[in-house]
Amino acid sequence: MTPTPYDAIILGAGGAGLMCAAVAGQRGRKVLLIDHADQPGKKILISGGGRCNFTNIHTAPDRYLSTNRHFAKSALSRYTAQDFIALVNGYNIAWHEKTLGQLFCDGSAKQIVAMLMDECPDDRVTLSLGQSVSDIRHSDGTYQVDYGSEAATAPALVIATGGPSIPKMGATSFAYDIARQFGLKVVEPRPALVPLTLGGEETLFRSLSGVSAPIVASCGKTAFREAALFTHKGLSGPAILQISSYWRHGDPVGVDFLPDLKPDWLTKLKREAPRLALSRAVNAHLPARLSETLLERIALSGDLGNLADRKLEEASRRLSNWRFMPNGTEGYAKAEVTAGGISTADLSSKNMEARQMPGLYAIGEAVDVTGWLGGYNFQWAWASGHAAGEAI
Ligand SMILES: Cc1cc2nc3c(=O)[nH]c(=O)nc-3n(C[C@H](O)[C@H](O)[C@H](O)COP(=O)(O)OP(=O)(O)OC[C@H]3O[C@@H](n4cnc5c(N)ncnc54)[C@H](O)[C@@H]3O)c2cc1C
């Protein structure tokens, strides 16, 4: 079989691959976009509860985790949240800011996929769905990809097959296999934006399943003020998902259940209302089931006036800096993204091309760049896809 020649072959028709194909196609490049799924942009379709949190207006490099914290700067500055908003506006897709700069479609995530597909010129971009890649070779500056019963060649090959989070949606570690095949290093991948699990004595907290509260979660020097949710396995909710990306086995996670109260609030309240029960004082700020469980663990009860200042100060300290010792995460099955991935040390931050392997590019979640929750990961997919699309 004679392989069909293209200017570029992009593996993976997710957010990053679609953006890359659109930009390259509009530059007149003949592009083949291959995905083993039966439709493009499957993660876009399920994202944001079906409304796709497509970007964040506060996008900045410090909201990304990477071994090289400077790596994302270049691509993010050359294709910004405002650039993507302009594209969305050009298609009259209505959107709104939900919270913390997070932009969602008013209608459906399907609009984002349709827009990206529409951006791919028909006569330039060939989409091949439901095809597995069986072999990739490189010789004399040309990449050959065998897929399904076909083969294609091109001087440029883009790895855009994402990370292994949510395998039941077709996510794989294929990106890392290709990277390693061509000598690129892979920073050990791990589930991120993922619920944490509690074991041992802390399984008691599982009885709070369904209870949520606005808190500050911290790990090391990083902290997020958002909601936390107790689950039947441990902890979830936006604050926990955010902190999970920074968490490593053995680290404690700190939770401030009363972030708006000063350390001396209980002793002050004791002077004002000595007959007030401690449980009622805490109940005023937390869901009843949660405050009961926490006070049970602190083993303190009675009217404020009957409790020593020292004990009240200690209770206040515990409530503001509760230490959980998660025993793991819910893993790739529940992780919104994969942290780690193809090492940025082997890629150009300008155009995402491999330094030692001309014509090989890696973009999107496959790369060791992971955003916070809230539209940051799609903005990285768009920006890195755009950077490579301008280069291939
Ligand atoms: C439930 C959920 C909700 C999310 N919500 C948001 C959100 O609202 N906002 C946000 O910013 N981020 C969100 N994310 C994260 C976001 O979806 C990803 O960061 C983003 O999709 C990464 O884009 P990508 O193109 O790099 O990879 P992907 O979107 O994962 O695309 C990779 C593509 O490669 C294909 N592929 C994989 N392996 C192979 C193979 N072996 N052969 C051929 N093709 C292959 C896949 O089928 C897929 O189409 C969410 C993630 C999940 C799981």
Ligand 1, atom 41: closest residue by C-alpha:
174
Mean pLDDT value across residues 294-311? 97
Distance CA 135, CA 234 (A): 42
- Which candidate, 269, 304, 15, places its Cα nearest to that of 162? 15
Q: What are 154's two structure tokens?
A: 């091109």
Backbone angles phi, psi at 257, to 5 degrees: -80, -15
Backbone angles phi, psi at 342, to 5 degrees: -60, 125
Query: Does the structure show a pLDDT above 80 at 274?
Result: yes
Q: What are 334's two structure tokens?
A: 């529940």
Centre of ligand 1 to C-alpha 362, Å, is 14
Query: Does the structure show a pLDDT above 90 at 1?
Result: no
Q: Which of 161, 194, 245, 369 to mutate to test the pocket of ligand 1 (most atoms within 8 A of CB)?
A: 161
The CA R_g of the chain, rounded to the nearest whole Å, is 25
Which pLDDT value is given to residue 275?
98
Which pLDDT value is given to residue 303?
98
Centre of ligand 1 to C-alpha 182, Å, is 23
Query: Does the structure show a pLDDT above 80 at 128?
Result: yes
Distance CA 93, CA 85 (A): 10
Which pLDDT value is given to residue 374?
98
pLDDT tens per residue, range 93-114: 999 999 999 999 999 999 999 9
CB atoms within 10 A of CB 299: 7
Strands (E), 133-221: 133-139, 142-147, 150-154, 156-159, 186-192, 196-197, 212-219
Query: Does the structure show a pLDDT above 90 at 286?
Result: yes
The answer to whether 61 touches 73, Cβ cutoff 8 Å, is: yes
Least confident segment among 25-34, 64-73, 197-206, 304-313: 197-206
Ligand 1 atom closest to 376 (CA): 11
Helical segments of 182-287, H only:
238-244, 265-272, 278-283
In DSSP terms, which residues pair with 143 in a beta bridge?
138, 154
Q: Is 172 in the pocket of ligand 1 (CB under 6 A)?
A: yes
Q: Is 165 in the pocket of ligand 1 (CB under 6 A)?
A: yes
Query: Does the structure show a pLDDT above 80 at 200?
Result: yes
Centre of ligand 1 to C-alpha 114, Å, is 16
Q: Is 370 in the pocket of ligand 1 (CB under 6 A)?
A: no
Q: With cut-offs at 50, 70 and 90, classify the pLDDT of residue 238.
A: very high
Mean pLDDT value across residues 267-290? 97
Centre of ligand 1 to C-alpha 14, Å, is 6
Query: Does the structure show a pLDDT above 90 at 254?
Result: yes
Q: With cut-offs at 50, 70 and 90, classify the pLDDT of residue 204.
A: confident
Global pTM value: 0.97
Mean pLDDT value across residues 342-359? 98
CB atoms within 10 A of CB 58: 14
Query: Does the structure show a pLDDT above 80 at 312?
Result: yes
Mean pLDDT value across residues 57-85? 98
CB atoms within 10 A of CB 207: 12
Ligand 1, atom 10: closest residue by C-alpha:
375
The answer to whether 46 touches 67, Cβ cutoff 8 Å, is: no
